[in-house]
Structure 1
């Protein structure tokens, strides 16, 4: 079952890296673009959820607990998306993504022990530390290429990492401890997300629709990859400790480093290659 959890987390990591790369292209569009993504994503997720429930032979029972817990999760996810978009307006993906993804599992490993009572083995802790070393290698490359560590991208990365750790631990608790169905939980969350973003961008709906027309392909990609990434991670927490899932998902820094170089044409160096090797070793250490 642990292997299944890790496999799901790896799939989540690939999808996560892909949508982060795609989000860079619409970052300048601002919040109206996120509103457009939220609408398309919600329509897709609700449709898929309805099909799944028909196949299962039962629907979703919308309880007060489901609504309240989904509201908390949606607020944290929206905060993360907002932070990511603002950061990508001013900085490269390679400046923000590695540290934000690499710090998150270390925080989750600690909060997972406190909140969920999930303890890692020594080998799994070794994997978490290897992932941290991979992040360190990427920071070293930043110093080498830019002459110094810039405070602003570090601060943005730390804020995003804290937000990621928050919703990862929270959602793990909801699925594992409260026993909510991952698909139903996420589907309700996407509906709440539309309401939330509609309030945030009120008065700018026309601009949101314009961004939807301009970036239709990117919006569609995000609407598919964002829910795919996170639903996979939710199911992964049913088969592996949430801290382990978070660490394996951080292997997405491998894929985002490659996509940043190949798709966005951002520079890649030896330190980033070393970070990729360390991240791969971390994943192996966590599952053997």
Structure 2
């Protein structure tokens, strides 16, 4: 993989884990997704306007389909992830979501987009996914893992795989700007969730004040991290970028242990080593 693509993915992993920590801390908010979507639209609108003026993209049917799909898939991802955080730990839902997503993304990129796959790249993916399963605790204490948390974590992973393939197609084949792709997702969430949010203005205002810091963190870092990922996808195979993002799982596990006081066992530490090994293996195949 190109060094700039690797650097973009690594920085994206840090921003992703950071905003997920903020999202977990705002798990009690009913309108958190709408609030941070509003923040993202306001903050990133100038950059998107600049892209539209400077690049003057000619949008055809395929472009509109890609933008609509990214909006739908990202909305499903955001709502499912936040629902998972309401019922379970960051250190369970996050690894499950991040483990299911890259596995599906890798095979979809291989079989649907005809990206090359080697025995070494498959080994890298399996190491990452196996490590994430260990980090989640499902291999050692599955009876203690909340079923709702498991289901929502896996469902989130399906949305991750869906938007990864769609958005990779959008930036690599259709040549859409990463800024435009990410902005569309935020704009659609904002519009679809607005009626529910605005009908509950008392709670909306109260949550905006109570969760001001998490809202700002996600509004800034959510788009930033994903724009970096989309940039990496333009310069590297999607099937490699998607699993490499899972370095965020290490950071998320650390946050869960140190900041949210969730338990980290030797099994989880072993899983962390497997994740790093898988990332190194994937990087070596690019």
How far has the Cα of 1:11 moved from its partner? 1.4
Verify the 8 A CA contact 1:60 1:184 in the aligned structure 2. Answer: no
Aligned residues: 283
Q: Label 1:209 to 1:59 Cα distance change in 2 as closer, same or farther (>3 A).
A: farther
CA distance in 1, matches of 2:145, 2:217: 33
Match of 2:163 among 167, 170, 173: 167
Moved more, 16-25 or 64-73: 64-73
Partner of 2:7: 7
Q: 1:1-288 residue pairs with structure 2 within 5 A?
A: 2-30=2-30, 32-50=31-49, 53=51, 58=54, 60-61=56-57, 63=59, 65=61, 66-139=63-136, 141-142=137-138, 144=140, 147-288=143-284
Moved more, 259-268 or 201-210: 201-210
Q: Label 1:161 to 1:130 Cα distance change in 2 as closer, same or farther (>3 A).
A: same
Structure 1: where are the runs of 5+ without partners?
none
CA distance in 1, matches of 2:185, 2:141: 41
Moved more, 1-10 or 63-72: 63-72
Q: Label 1:185 to 1:147 Cα distance change in 2 as closer, same or farther (>3 A).
A: closer
Structure 2: where are the runs of 5+ without partners?
none
**TM-score (structure 1 length as normaliser):** 0.90
CA distance in 2, matches of 1:151, 1:186: 31
Verify the 8 A CA contact 2:40 2:223 in the aligned structure 1. Answer: yes
How far has the Cα of 1:123 moved from its partner? 1.9
CA distance in 2, matches of 1:255, 1:210: 30
How far has the Cα of 1:192 moved from its partner? 2.7
Verify the 8 A CA contact 2:100 2:157 in the aligned structure 1. Answer: yes
CA distance in 2, matches of 1:243, 1:9: 13
Q: CA RMSD in A?
A: 2.1
After superposition, what is the alpha-carbon deviation per residue over 1:221-271, rounded to whole angstroms, capped at 9, x for unaligned? Answer: 010110011101100101111111110001211010001111111111111
CA distance in 2, matches of 1:126, 1:96: 24
How far has the Cα of 1:150 moved from its partner? 4.1
Verify the 8 A CA contact 1:102 1:132 in the aligned structure 2. Answer: yes
How far has the Cα of 1:29 moved from its partner? 0.9
